Amino acid sequence: MKIVVTGASGLVGHRLVPALESKGHEVLRLVRNAPADPREVRWDPSKGTIDAGALEGVDAAVHLAGENLAEGRWTDEKKLRIRESRVKGTRLISETLAGLARKPEVLVSASAVGFYGSRGAEVLTERSAPGDDFLADVCREWEQATDAASAAGVRVAHMRFGVILSGEGGALKKMLFPFRMGVGGKLGSGEQYVSWVTIDDAVGAIEYALENKSLSGPVNVVAPRPVTNKEFTKAIGGALSRPTIFPVPEFALRLLFGEMADATLLSSQRAEPARLKESGYVFKHPEIGEALRHVLGEKG
């Protein structure tokens, strides 16, 4: 297949592109700077511009681009960038694909389990209702921004990612320093659920969605066994052979991170990958202990 990918230099895209190319697919990367390679195509989501002609003939699209949630406090300006980077970029790629003379078969578009809001221990499947906080609103608009592609007959899969575990970056890398220093611990009560997935399964699920015509609409991309933050903390300590006896109270997290603390670090989503399991996807890393040992072992 000829596949166009946004966010190709990000955590997931960095692993996805070579994985697709290793299977013989031709991959085009949408980039914001002047293309330096024949496989790059210029776009600028903030200005609503894209080289649509260069996308004629693509068979599929994977849309991963978006503002980093975990960089800096959530000021009003930051929240606007988070929303616009997802909604504007998604609408632009969706409308562009819908307007091509030969439309691609599928658009696999990133979303997040933040769609559900903070729901305690409630089991969340793709049928669960959305939440009502900032991230839930963003995720809902993010997914709705693909409507033009759906209306044009393109199969759209919304990949609702949990916390993606990778030794190369992302949330896990930010967590590791205190644990390696022996001062890691649970966040808040530690009872909040963490829906996680390894980078291997995040990439694997995207590849699976590209090929599996039964997958459209929301798809929870999370391991089949979510854990509490307390269990997650213990598993990190076990993978690093370090103690985990220094909890971080909720008030300290709010002082440090403001609204982002409640929306990400203290939020609870117990999501289940119902659609992936029903369709036959086999997880490479279903257990948190083995998963952490694997991703941390990749970096030695």
Q: Average pLDDT, whole number, for the chain?
A: 94
H or E stretch covering 211: helix 199-211
* Position 34 confidence tier, pLDDT thresholds 50, 70, 90: confident
Question: For domain 2-297, which architecture applies?
Answer: 3-Layer(aba) Sandwich (3.40)
Q: Would you say residue 181 has pLDDT above 70?
A: yes
Nearest alpha-carbon partner for 209 in 151, 272, 158, 147: 158
Q: Would you say residue 171 has pLDDT above 90?
A: no
Q: What average pLDDT does range 142-164 have in this prediction?
A: 97
Give pLDDT, residue 27.
98
Neighbouring C-beta atoms of residue 152, cutoff 10 Å: 17
- In tens, the pLDDT along 105-151 reads 999 999 999 999 999 999 999 999 999 999 999 999 999 999 999 99
Helix (H, G, I), strand (E, B) or coil at 173: helix
Q: How many percent of the chain have pLDDT more than 90? A: 78
- In tens, the pLDDT along 229-274 reads 999 999 999 999 998 989 999 989 888 888 888 888 899 999 999 9
Q: Would you say residue 92 has pLDDT above 60?
A: yes
pTM of the prediction? 0.94
Q: Would you say residue 300 has pLDDT above 50?
A: no
Strand-by-strand arrangement of the 49-50 sheet = 49-50, 40-44, 26-31, 2-6, 60-63, 106-112, 155-161, 217-221
Neighbouring C-beta atoms of residue 34, cutoff 10 Å: 7
> Helix 288-297 vs helix 229-240: angle between axes, to the nearest 10 degrees?
40
For the chain, the structural domain boundaries read 2-297
Give pLDDT, residue 293.
95
Give pLDDT, residue 298.
58
H or E stretch covering 199: helix 199-211
Give pLDDT, residue 182.
87
Q: Would you say residue 166 has pLDDT above 70?
A: yes
